[in-house]
Amino acid sequence: MREIERKYEAPDAGELPDPAESLGFAGELAEQRLTAVYFDTEDLRLLRAGVTLRRREGGSDAGWHLKIPAGKDTREELRLPLGRARRPPAKLLSLARVHSRGAEVAPVAELVTHRKRWRLADADREVAELVDDQVVARTMGEQTTTQSWREVEVELAEHGDVDVLDRVEAWLRTLGLDRSASSSKLGRLLADRLPGTDRPAGRAKPGSAGHGVLGYLRTQADQLRRHDPLVRQDAPDAVHQMRVAARRMRSALRGFGRVLDPERTRPISDELRWMAGELADARDSEVMAERFGELLDGLPDELKLGPVKAQLEREFGSRQADARTRAIAALDSRRYLDLHHAIDELLADPPLTGKARRPAAKELPEGVDKAFRRLKSRMDQLVDLGPGLERDEALHEARKAAKRLRYATEVAGSSLGGRADRLRQRLKEVQELLGDHQDTVVARPVLRELAVKAQVSGGNGFAFGVLYGAEAARAERLEARLPAAWRRLRKLR
């Protein structure tokens, strides 16, 4: 479930007016008593990452809950039934592993909440839930402390939108309620055990090149960790997004060696490459299965000789299962957790060079220029290469160089002004042509293999040969369009 909510400080005394009546919604009031035990590592690694893991009794959503940040005012919430066990389910611990780093979790707090809940509806559709909570909370462990407070929460329902949140917030402000400084009840209870929330970008000053690069790296690290549980749940596009975040980090580390000491960042760059490689099969099999299915659907029936669709489903069902096993094994490995620890250390104590102190607007375009020269060198190498494996490999290298240029442009961002938008637009065309071409390079050997398997097993490989021909023709069309797209990009130099 996706949870979009806002929290507000409320005085201990007083009654909240009926929000349905005050805001013109239909609504009904219910009262609940909720008891929740929260789990975390000894040093509160989950809470520090904005993650909560709890066992709740009472109310309509009793069970085990894991909440993971997913954007402003938003968290992904995963629920499992209570069961008899008092220990967190292994599935939820796995989904939180990138944040706990494999450390033992134990109860850290118990919260008892007396809740007044209004379901707000508009035109017979529920748009939001507003709750008025009286909370009694105690820490758990060697030392126990108790606190109590009152707070109000507003959470969007399925048919609500952000305008509803804004409308309710405006009404709450007229009553003297302001946004809560804490995003969770547990965070409020354990605030004295948490570091500051300002998250400075190492020692870099705002506006400097170092600050710009570190801010970009931090964003990509957050993306890595956000998509880890989604990959574990086999969510659509999760593997792709996780690999993109790893490539962006690696590109920033390698492309801005004038800002961060490349000798000290190389181990992280190498490990990011390893991680992306472990996820590659899962992504490639996903893309090929979709592509081959589309090609097959477009063939006339008279060209589909034999049970081609069934063979594709068997083949890629097996490939995707093996690739997923490999990907999850990588995410469960100590090596993967050590990578995240190294990323944390890099962001906390970055190896900044002297040029990191330069203004971003003067230094970061140098990294873009370096990436542009690299792409030009790769494109120039294509001139004397005829069709064949060597040319395909050279096109692949050009594709990687185009990606590095794109990511360097993202790091530089506003430092390039309006040039960044023009560069990204023309670079996108080149990168897509090179990327689509590489897809055909990867796909054709697989199609040949499928044709051979069909023939050996007594079937008919004709349809796979037709698909092979379609992919080869597609590669030629893509290459024919590349020179003109490259000329348009070079004009921006």
Q: What is the mean pLDDT of residues 205-214?
A: 93
Question: What is the three-class DSSP state of 4?
Answer: strand
Contact call for residues 34 and 113 (beta carbons, < 8 A): yes
pLDDT on residue 344: 95
Angle at which helix 209-232 crosses helix 334-348, to 10 degrees, equals 160
Residue type (1 letter), 394: A
Rounded to an integer, what distance in angstroms lies between the CA atom of residue 118 and that of residue 29? 5
Find residue 5's DSSP bridge partners: 155
Q: Please, which residues have CB within 8 angstroms of residue 157's CB and are 6 or more apart in sequence?
A: 119, 120, 126, 127, 128, 129
pLDDT on residue 202: 54
This prediction's pTM: 0.86
What are the backbone dihedrals phi and psi of residue 185, each rounded to the nearest 5 degrees, phi first? -65, -40
Rounded to an integer, what distance in angstroms lies between the CA atom of residue 306 and that of residue 394? 37
Residues in the chain: 493
Question: What is the three-class DSSP state of 275?
Answer: helix
Query: What confidence category does residue 373 fall into, taking pLDDT thresholds of 50, 70 and 90?
Result: very high
pLDDT digits (tens, 9 = 90+) for 170-199: 999 999 999 998 878 999 999 888 875 444
Among the ranges given (76-90, 265-279, 474-488), the one the predictor scored with the smallest mean pLDDT? 76-90
User: Which residue ranges form the domains of the chain, and what is each CATH number?
Assistant: 2-193 (2.40.320.10), 209-490 (1.40.20.10)
Q: What is the mean pLDDT of residues 85-108?
A: 94
Query: What confidence category does residue 83 fall into, taking pLDDT thresholds of 50, 70 and 90?
Result: confident
Between these two residues, 122 and 114, which has the higher pLDDT value?
A: 114
Q: What is the mean pLDDT of residues 400-421?
A: 86
Contact call for residues 265 and 346 (beta carbons, < 8 A): yes
Rounded to an integer, what distance in angstroms lies between the CA atom of residue 164 and that of residue 154? 9
Rounded to an integer, what distance in angstroms lies between the CA atom of residue 184 and that of residue 382? 56
Q: What is the mean pLDDT of residues 389-415?
A: 92
pLDDT on residue 192: 87
pLDDT digits (tens, 9 = 90+) for 11-69: 988 889 999 889 988 888 999 999 999 999 999 999 999 899 999 999 888 999 999 98
Instruction: Tell me 349's DSSP state.
Output: S
